[in-house]
Structure 1
Amino acid sequence: MIVAPEPSTARLAWSAVVVSGPEAESFLSGQLTQDVVGLDEPRWSLVLQPDSLVVAPVQVTRRDGELAVVLERGLAEVTLARLTRFKLRVACALELVDSLELVDSLEGPFATLGERVAARWPGAPEVARGLTPHGLGRRVLEATVSFTKGCYTGQELVGRLDARGARVPWRLVAACGPSVEAIEAVLTGRGPEGPRGVTTAIERAGAIEVLGVAHRTLAAGHYGEVSLYEVDEAPSAAE
């Protein structure tokens, strides 16, 4: 199904899983890819499944003695379920907060969809394609994953893949072109059947900008009126 483009000014909705209690920090340390011990400023991280597939990109912040895991509202329920599944004999509580007052005060990382696309940052549509952390690009990987902290769920496969050079079959890419259909044709024109295709599309400055998933055999470059970029280096039409 072709993704319909949205205005670049479309607002993003954020929720938070608030973790409280004497073992809140140690619990999250075992569930997040980033080190949150002694956290004193917002920090990006990922929540993974045991097989290392990304559940959600999150930003963790400390608030009034609690830890708030801020994430796109569309990923809130599945992330809460995933964290709850591994909360075994731990002295902490998890609460999903959709209060506009709380979430607005936490200031979601991106105010609009256009900001997220310009930052080449994965959201709910990208996560739905079943990518691993390395499939999100080196920049996102370095911002969200610590390779020196203690164990966390999904760590073994992430570490093994990194040690082997991290060549994954599917990766997040950015592209721009005259239409979503034209970009979709490029993204799906190379490689086997799989999660390839446009995931998020916006209209900006008379062009279509997208995030999407491409097979590793599809190189960055120009394909007629469509320009395909690696997310680590793609310029934005807004820049």
Structure 2
Amino acid sequence: MSTHAFRDESAEEPWRAIVARGHDAEAYLQGQLSQDVSALGDDARWSLVLAPDSSVLAAVLVTSIEDGFSLSVPGEVADDVMGALRRFLLRTKCDLSWGDVASAPFTSPRERLDERWPGGREFRARLTPHSYGARFVERTISFAKGCFTGQELVGRLDARGASVPWRVIYFEGDSSERVDELLRSTGPAGPHGITTVLNTLNGVRGMGVAHRTLLAREEEPGILLSALP
């Protein structure tokens, strides 16, 4: 039986902000984030916070602010991200604190799904970046910036053509039970199943995780599946 929870299309998408300030803030984030922080300028850019094994803790939107940087983090995984960033702070002149979210990247689950962008519930699956699609990797990782936490495996995957066993899927269907059963129907034991689900006029839509072999199967009547772009 599925244990996923429905969310209303008009519900707010929760975000929190981590603020980094101090003499070493830029250098510290340069070693912790997948994006090139030194080239940020006035633009906001997506970046990843990765675990040492290269699994994604979150995609965060990084913005330059006075005397530092602001990271907009999905609320469901914000505490995990703060814990990961604080882990290597010893003898570093960088202060990390909670701040105010000036502008949320997405204001509702509907808006995020329309953009086919993963959120906190998808990041809880702890997948490697390529599981979230080529566009996600292109927008969040600088392969020219040098070393960062989790970089080694990500670089190897990219060089080998990014063949990963698990993929994040966008779906539309007539019922969440049928979709969840389908997502779990192929592959070994793992993180598959629905992660985000919204009610619609004609059924449900959302995101989930499936083994890559599911995408090679014939379409299931009443269910539309597509890997994130």
Q: Which aligned pairs between 1:22-61 and structure 2 lie closer than 5 A?
A: 22-39=23-40, 40-61=42-63
Deviation at 1:22, TM superposition (A): 1.4
Q: Segments of 4+ in structure 1 off by > 4 A?
A: none
Q: Which amino acid aligns with 1:54?
A: V
**Structure 2 residue 189 is the aligned partner of structure 1 residue 230:** no
CA distance, structure 2, for counterparts of residue 75 and residue 192 of structure 1: 26
Corresponding residue of 1:206: 202
Q: Which amino acid aligns with 1:50?
A: P
CA distance, structure 1, for counterparts of residue 200 and residue 23 of structure 2: 47
Deviation at 1:191, TM superposition (A): 1.1
CA distance, structure 2, for counterparts of residue 66 and residue 38 of structure 1: 14
CA distance, structure 2, for counterparts of residue 31 and residue 178 of structure 1: 42
**Structure 2 residue 96 is the aligned partner of structure 1 residue 94:** yes
TM-score by length of 2: 0.95
Q: Which amino acid aligns with 2:202?
A: G
Structure 2 regions of 5+ residues with no counterpart?
none
- Measured against aligned partners, the alpha-carbon deviations of 1:187-214 in whole angstroms (never above 9, x if no partner) come to 1111111100110001234331110001
Please, which moves more after superposition, 130-139 or 84-93? 84-93
TM-score by length of 1: 0.91
> Is residue 5–residue 208 contact of structure 1 (8 Å, CA) maintained in 2?
no
> Is residue 13–residue 107 contact of structure 2 (8 Å, CA) maintained in 1?
yes
CA distance, structure 2, for counterparts of residue 118 and residue 38 of structure 1: 29
Corresponding residue of 1:107: 103
Corresponding residue of 1:130: 126
Q: Which amino acid aligns with 1:31?
A: Q
Q: Which amino acid aligns with 2:12?
A: R
- Measured against aligned partners, the alpha-carbon deviations of 1:77-118 in whole angstroms (never above 9, x if no partner) come to 111110000113211111023xxxx21xx2110000111122
> Is residue 35–residue 141 contact of structure 2 (8 Å, CA) maintained in 1?
yes
Corresponding residue of 1:9: 10
Q: Which amino acid aligns with 1:226?
A: I
> Is residue 172–residue 225 contact of structure 2 (8 Å, CA) maintained in 1?
yes
Deviation at 1:73, TM superposition (A): 1.7
Deviation at 1:31, TM superposition (A): 0.4
Q: Which amino acid aligns with 1:160?
A: R
Corresponding residue of 1:235: none
RMSD, aligned CA: 1.3
**Structure 2 residue 74 is the aligned partner of structure 1 residue 72:** yes
Deviation at 1:38, TM superposition (A): 3.8
Corresponding residue of 1:85: 87
> Is residue 76–residue 121 contact of structure 2 (8 Å, CA) maintained in 1?
no
For residue 38 of structure 2, give the secondary structure of its aligned residue in structure 1. Answer: coil
> Is residue 29–residue 36 contact of structure 1 (8 Å, CA) maintained in 2?
yes
The share of aligned pairs that are identical, in percent, is 44
Corresponding residue of 1:236: none
Q: Which amino acid aligns with 1:69?
A: L
